Amino acid sequence: MTTKKRFVSVALAVVFFAIAFCALGAVVFAQSVAFADGTQYVDVYAINDFHGQVEQMPKIAGFLAAQKAKGAVIINSGDMFQGSMESNSNSGRLLTDCMKEAGFDCMTYGNHEFDWGMDNLRNLASTSGIPFLGANIYNWNRTDGWGDFADDFADEYIIKEVNGVKVGVIGVIGKDQITSISSQLVQTIGFKEPLPIIKKLATELREQQDCDIVVVSAHAGPQGIVGEDDDYKKPSSAAGLEDYVDAMFCAHTHSEERYLVDGLPFLQGKRYGDFVSHVKFSVSNGNVNVETYENISYNSLSDIDATVQNKVQTLIDNSNAAIEDRNKVLGKLSGSLSKNPGLPRLVCNAIADFAKQQGYVIDLAIVNEARANISGNVTNSSLYTALPFDNTVYIAKVSGRDINKEMGYSGQSMWRVSGRAVTDSDKSFYYIAVIDYLLYHQNSERNYNYFPSAFTSGFDPIPLQKDGQVYNYRLITKDFLQSQTGTLDVSPYVADNNVHTNAKKLRSLADLPIEPYNLTAINNGNSGSTLPTWALVLIIVGAVLVVAAVVTVVVVLLVKRRKAVR
């Protein structure tokens, strides 16, 4: 190489490195200017309606832990635990331990957190090390109405500081979700309208707590917060919340939502860990801007903390190993039963059989829809996923009007037992086997609104028991499946024209013969029980004698009148 060429090569190399250093300097300068200008970035991640799907938790926990290590705020918008045998068997303790490993900063109460009662929930919240939020949960009783904020049970908000930026998180639950909880479990608390409470607390966080960013973790759809009726549509406005908070993380409707309404982002990550919701904020000179708002699908999660992922998997494996008969096959189905109405019809059949074994005469059994389909070999675990609730079954005496109204809802399923026509009348009464959620259901004003006649019929509802213990509908269904020989034919639960399941025939004015349920036992131990045969005979004989006496009196009077005329 000549001296001239060598000089040109060296010169080009110098120019290249000079350009590279200039570019690097520009980046550093730009970053230094940004920080000097006071710009900071804060990420908030949220999940919602996980419903005990533990198999999804290791990957999600690993992802969230990796973001937490970078300074992100991690929140949970409720309905975390209820939904699988693996989670229900420990009343949420397993997933609380997993949340601690992932670094969750808070969790908002959902309606299904209450399914195991408030005492269990208090214990879970107080020992979890994670704040449980519910700013609109207030003490309540039927005599005095509203009391104070339930501060022994919930926190209103948390404050986290990230890179010098203070982030406030307010947690609320939808006002009307008191109706989505078995009413007997929540007779000491209620849920107030969240909108004014959010605005009040957001002002407190800004003005008194010096928070730069305020977000809401709501166990409610967007419409349930802004006060619109249809909880499955994009809200028409943010109802002024855009002046108080910077983002809304929603839940409960199991929808994948990503809305910008009046400049305020509303996000919901569907259910079961399908999506993780994420908002990136920038804060500069007191101004908050939303840089990114998105739902990240489970399959797209990357940048995962493998150590946390493995720890969470170990927690789940150890817990699952302690569950006896988790994968035991209870029975085999000839096909698939949908969560509505196929499986509920089978459950109703099981309940009707059980009521018969206990000596009750009923007209029909009623439940609501299941959570998942079942097919083929049904295991303890798969049945638990489909029927995750511990609903007690009651025998109740209700009016035909209540039954007909309830059958008008598409989500309800039944199994007809006696064949009696159910007249649409508040004077005609029938005995039913029904789950406690439906029987004791109350509206927002705390009035019984599904079967109000059950509490005025003179018959006190009786819980079904086995060996002296109250028995729930999932255990009754489990026994029913295990009692079957061979493969269970699913066709009676699929066909809409089945006399046992056809609501139109239920309302028929003509009685229908139903051979498999020709029951003769009597309802035991209650003032509303069916009359014994001997008593019925006495009543008929007495009625005949009364009629004969009346006829005799009339004849005597007519004879006397004729004599007087003569």
| Token pair for 174 | 């939808």
Report the share of the chain in percent with pLDDT over 70: 84
In the prediction, which pLDDT does 515 show? 58
> Which is higher by pLDDT, 357 or 36?
357
| Token pair for 486 | 């061979």
- Nearest CA to 134 out of 106, 155, 104, 159 is that of 155
Fold of the domain built from segment(s) 37-320: Purple Acid Phosphatase; chain A, domain 2 (3.60.21)
Segment 295-332, tens digit of pLDDT? 999 999 999 999 999 999 999 999 999 998 999 999 99
User: 37-320 and 329-517: same fold?
Assistant: no
Cα Rg of the chain (Å, integer): 32
In the prediction, which pLDDT does 439 show? 97
d(CA 345, CA 228) in angstroms, rounded, equals 34
Of 47-56, 102-111, 417-426, the one with minimum mean pLDDT is 417-426
State yes or no: pLDDT of 566 exceeds 50. Answer: no
In the prediction, which pLDDT does 559 show? 55
State yes or no: pLDDT of 6 exceeds 50. Answer: no
Of 16-20, 291-295, 464-468, give the range with the top mean pLDDT.
Answer: 291-295
State yes or no: pLDDT of 58 exceeds 50. Answer: yes
Instruction: Look up residue 452 and give its DSSP letter.
Output: G
In the prediction, which pLDDT does 542 show? 63
| Mean pLDDT within 222-235 | 84
| Angle subtended at Cα 315 by Cα 309 and Cα 320, rounded to the nearest 5 degrees | 125
> Which is higher by pLDDT, 446 or 544?
446
In the prediction, which pLDDT does 22 show? 42
Question: What single letter denotes the amino acid at residue 483?
Answer: S
Q: Looking only at Cα atoms, what is the longest distance across the chain?
A: 162
d(CA 104, CA 75) in angstroms, rounded, equals 6
Sign of CA dihedral 11, 14, 20, 24: negative
Residue with tokens 């006397």: 560
Which one is the CATH code of 329-517: 3.90.780.10, 3.40.190.290, 1.20.1440.230, 3.10.110.10?
3.90.780.10
Decide: 266 and 257 in contact? Cβ < 8 Å. yes
In the prediction, which pLDDT does 467 show? 92
State yes or no: pLDDT of 39 exceeds 80. Answer: yes
| Angle subtended at Cα 280 by Cα 275 and Cα 284, rounded to the nearest 5 degrees | 170
| Mean pLDDT within 425-452 | 95
Segment 148-198, tens digit of pLDDT? 999 999 999 999 999 899 999 999 999 999 999 999 999 999 999 999 999
> Which is higher by pLDDT, 205 or 37?
205
What DSSP assignment string belongs to 54-94? GGGHHHHHHHHHHHHHTT-EEEE-S--STT-HHHHTTTTHH
Per-residue confidence at 529, pLDDT binned at 50, 70, 90? very low
State yes or no: pLDDT of 371 exceeds 70. Answer: yes
| Token pair for 395 | 């025998």
d(CA 479, CA 508) in angstroms, rounded, equals 32
| Mean pLDDT within 415-424 | 91
Segment 72-98, tens digit of pLDDT? 999 999 999 999 999 999 999 999 999
In the prediction, which pLDDT does 229 show? 73
State yes or no: pLDDT of 517 exceeds 50. Answer: no
State yes or no: pLDDT of 524 exceeds 70. Answer: no
In the prediction, which pLDDT does 32 show? 35
* Domain residue ranges in the chain: 37-320, 329-517, 535-566
Of 35-49, 336-350, 502-516, the one with minimum mean pLDDT is 502-516
